[in-house]
């Protein structure tokens, strides 16, 4: 994040935590389960959310999504086109969602109509790490196209998230990336306690395990 002046950063993060806690309480009052999907551009967050929502709807779970983006309605439109009720949340200039922006979106939603809210954060593997939104889970999504050094380069977001997902397993070979290197780095970073979830949204592989891990 952009450190502007000593002390300032702490104030911003403290204020964010306060609002994140309020969001969490509000969601719990309405018995809603929620997930924050973080990850870089092209990791496949939108497609993953669409697919998870399809599977959940098939089980009778009522789902909606919040589409976080700097500008535009691309992800929002993709959600809506797939049949997933969505709420657009533009940051304007900011490179990440924050608890306050999510609070505004939650006010738009008739919360009694949903069991699950899936939030797509802005495409960015650095900044969102610092700003919890008040969800049950924080997820980081990376893809094989990003190279095998993502865990080594971006400790913060992997340590700030509850589960990590490696998407686009179907094009490992086309992009020349060995997923085991990534899996191994993640294992080491988490003291051997956690495994990265491998999936291919395109081929619908590995998604049921993710739904289970997120208690959806």
Q: State both tokens at 187.
A: 């294992």
The alpha-helical segments, DSSP class H, found in the chain are 8-29, 45-58, 74-81, 99-108, 150-153, 155-159, 172-175, 179-189, 207-213
Using the rule CB under 8 A, is 211 a contact of a copy of itself? no
Using the rule CB under 8 A, is 181 a contact of a copy of itself? no
Q: How far is the CB of 91 from a copy of itself (least distance, A)?
A: 9
DSSP characters for 133-168? -S-SEEEEEEEGGG-TTHHHH-HHHHHS-SEEEEE-
Q: How far, in Å, CA of 18 to CA of 159, rounded?
A: 21
Q: How far, in Å, CA of 127 to CA of 49, rounded?
A: 21
Q: How far is the CB of 135 from a copy of itself (least distance, A)?
A: 20
Binding mask 18-37 for a copy of itself (x = CB under 8 A): --------------------
Which is closer to a copy of itself, CB of 111 or CB of 181?
Answer: 181
Using the rule CB under 8 A, is 184 a contact of a copy of itself? no
- Phi and psi of 16, rounded to 5°? -60, -45
Binding mask 56-95 for a copy of itself (x = CB under 8 A): -------------xxxx-x------------------xxx
Q: How far, in Å, CA of 88 to CA of 203, rounded?
A: 27
Using the rule CB under 8 A, is 154 a contact of a copy of itself? yes
Using the rule CB under 8 A, is 143 a contact of a copy of itself? yes
Q: Which residues bind a copy of itself (CB under 8 A)?
A: 1-5, 8-9, 11-12, 40-42, 69-72, 74, 93-96, 122-127, 143, 145-147, 149-150, 152-156, 171, 174-175
């Amino acid at each position: 994040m952009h450190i502007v002046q000593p002390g300032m950063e702490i104030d911003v993060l403290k204020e964010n935590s306060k609002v994140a806690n309020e969001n969490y309480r509000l969601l719990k009052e309405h018995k809603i389960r929620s997930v924050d999907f973080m990850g870089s551009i092209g990791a496949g967050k939108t497609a993953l959310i669409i697919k998870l929502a399809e599977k959940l709807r098939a089980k009778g779970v009522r789902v909606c999504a919040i589409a976080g983006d700097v500008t535009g309605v691309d992800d929002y439109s993709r959600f809506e086109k797939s049949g997933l009720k969505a709420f657009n949340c533009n940051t304007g200039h900011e490179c990440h969602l924050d608890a306050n922006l999510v609070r505004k979106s939650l006010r738009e939603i008739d919360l009694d109509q949903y069991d699950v809210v899936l939030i797509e954060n802005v495409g960015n593997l650095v900044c969102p790490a610092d700003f919890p939104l008040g969800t049950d889970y924080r997820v980081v999504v990376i893809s094989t196209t990003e190279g095998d050094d993502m865990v080594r380069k971006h400790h913060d977001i992997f340590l700030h998230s509850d589960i990590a997902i490696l998407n686009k397993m179907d094009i490992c070979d086309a992009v020349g990336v060995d997923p085991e290197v990534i899996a191994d780095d993640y294992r080491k970073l988490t003291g051997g306690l956690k495994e990265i979830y491998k999936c291919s949204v395109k081929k619908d592989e590995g998604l049921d395990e993710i739904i289970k891990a997120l208690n959806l």
